[in-house]
Amino acid sequence: MSKDLKILVTGASGYIGGRLTPDLQKAGFRNVVGMARDPEKLERRNWKGIEIVQGDALMPESLDRALSGIDVAFYLIHSMTSSGKSFAKHDIQCAKNFAEACERQGVKRIIYLGGLGSTGMGLSKHLQSRQDTGDALRSTSVPVTELRSAIVIGSGSASFEIIKDLVHKLPIMICPRWVSSKCEPISIRQLVQYLIGVINEPRSIGQILDVGSGEVLTYADMLRQCGEVIGQKVTIIPVPILSPRISSYWLNLVTSVPIGLAKTLVESLRNDVICHDFRIRKWIKVDPITYRDAVSLALAKQKAGTYESRWTDATTSKAAEIMNYKGLSFVDERRLEIDASPEKIFKILKSVGGSTGWFHADWLWQLRASMDWLIGGVGMRRGRPHPDNLSVGDTVDFWRVERLITNKHIAFRAEMKLPGQAMLIFDITEKGAVSVLIMKACFWPSGFWGKLYWYCVLPLHNYVFEGMLDGIRGRAEIVAKAT
């Protein structure tokens, strides 16, 4: 098949799509198109020579536009982070819409990434949904190649970040029975090589193929080996009494994943996910990478802050759409002149949360986090993925980075339990020889209790936010004088 094929990658703003899209170009394919519901997220990646299109799998007319002239389409859309009961129906409807649009537009082939797991009784709802999605894609005349994988190990992978967080924070773990389940993890590098490799492998057309590293481990093995790479001994005590629900809340509290994703992952962990079909290993040669090597590579990239993509990249805008920032809103806006450049101020802002704290009244932030944790919220235990760098989608204690423009703007979306929706926004502008930092606390109340909540916390804003701004100014000016 020619390198002149026009290839579309759906979910290009997500973790896998964010790696696959530029690597297709590196592999020599000259006509690569990235599709996302929010094209601005792709435009911020500054990919050179890659076309960006808008498309929503629930809007067939947008799919027709995106798929016009496409030869091969990668389908990387799924609702893994959804905690709702209807995510399976949502996934199937999206897949049917996509397959029908491909047929209308004359697409020659669909390549889909699904999940490993033996069919039949006992398969988790999530894994069953992944396989049902493949069936929905096969409902038209367009041939489908389905690759099925277990967890993916790489910098920015949700599965890897959970394993790393558990090892860092819990050297002694009381774990449920799922730690004995078998898994065949695959490195992100190997997975992308397989995805690209099947384009030019005619024997893969119309096939369902298992992909893995060839190394079968239990989840306990993976935790221990990750600990050995990090340099921390891990002791695991399996017990039969931890239910999936309790386990998911535990992951939510200890790691950076939201509760919806934690529930989905824990439910799937009860199933063995290993390869049974080895044909693709004969057809496509990939780099041999052990689990330990994959962990080492991921840790090195995380330490350097060189993420090509992260699992959070595709979730933030969707969550913002679900959170309806419309109607009545309250805004507390404050401004402060700082004798430092926007670059210096932005550097300080990027370090907020985690071990750095919130520049003032940390005890109040901790108190608010404890209250949130007691009622089932995320609290402060998620911290932040990197001490200095921030990316869109990163967790920062009980906030998540919603928007980020270097040296100009950061918007944090609240993920604590609230009778409404909240954002904390920082803007930096220049005013002659100084900079102006503008901070906005925005709140969209939900009914009477939301309004009451705002007026109850408003008296604290003068103390907390004024002190916070002073703390930022002090640190920024010290950095400015030092350089």
pLDDT by residue (tens digit) across 249-282? Answer: 667 666 766 666 677 777 777 789 999 999 999 9
- Could you tell me which residue, 6 or 238, shows the higher pLDDT? 6
How far apart are alpha carbons 225 and 437 in whole angstroms? 45
Average pLDDT on 303-323 reads: 61
**For residue 319, pLDDT beyond 60:** no
Distance, in Å, from the CA atom of 276 to the CA atom of 346, rounded to the nearest integer, reads 50
User: What mean pLDDT is predicted for residues 155-183?
Assistant: 85
> How far are the Cα atoms of 20, 185, 274, 413, 447 from residue 421, in angstroms, in the given order?
34, 37, 41, 8, 11
Q: What is the pLDDT of residue 172?
A: 84
In the chain, list all ranges with CATH 3.40.50.720: 6-304
- Domain 6-304 CATH superfamily: NAD(P)-binding Rossmann-like Domain (3.40.50.720)
Distance CA 123, CA 271 (A): 7
> 105 and 70 in contact (C-beta within 8 Å)?
yes
| Closest to 165 in 3D by CA, of 234, 71, 91, 85 | 234
How far is it, in rounded angstroms, from Cα 358 to Cα 189?
37
Amino acid 242: pLDDT: 59
Tokens 């049917």 sit on residue: 96
| Residue range 368-379: mean pLDDT, rounded | 78
Structural element, H or E, at residue 443 = strand 434-445
Side chain identity, residue 252: N
Mean pLDDT of 105-110: 98
Q: What are the φ/ψ torsions at residue 90 (nearest 5 degrees)?
A: -60, -45
Residue 229 has pLDDT above 70, yes or no: yes
Angle at 356 between CA 434 and CA 444, to 5 degrees: 75
* 98 DSSP assignment: H
Measured distance CA(368)–CA(263) in Å, rounded: 25
**Residues written for the chain:** 483
Choosing among 3.30.530.20, 3.50.50.60, 3.40.1790.10, 3.30.1600.10, the CATH entry for 327-482 is 3.30.530.20
Residue 177 has what DSSP assignment? G
Sign of the alpha-carbon dihedral angle for 254, 259, 262, 263: positive
Query: Is the pLDDT reported for residue 329 higher than 60?
Result: yes
Return mean pLDDT, the chain: 88
pTM of structure:
0.80
From the list 271, 262, 113, 90, the residue with the least C-alpha distance to 177 is 271
Bigger pLDDT: 283 vs 1: 283
How much is the average pLDDT of 283-312?
Answer: 88
In whole angstroms, give the CA distance from residue 9 to residue 34. Answer: 5
DSSP secondary structure letter of residue 353: B
More confident call, 268 vs 76: 76
Rounded Cα distance between 349 and 435, Å, is 14
For the chain, where do the domains classified as CATH 3.30.530.20 start and end? 327-482
Helix (H, G, I), strand (E, B) or coil at 133: helix
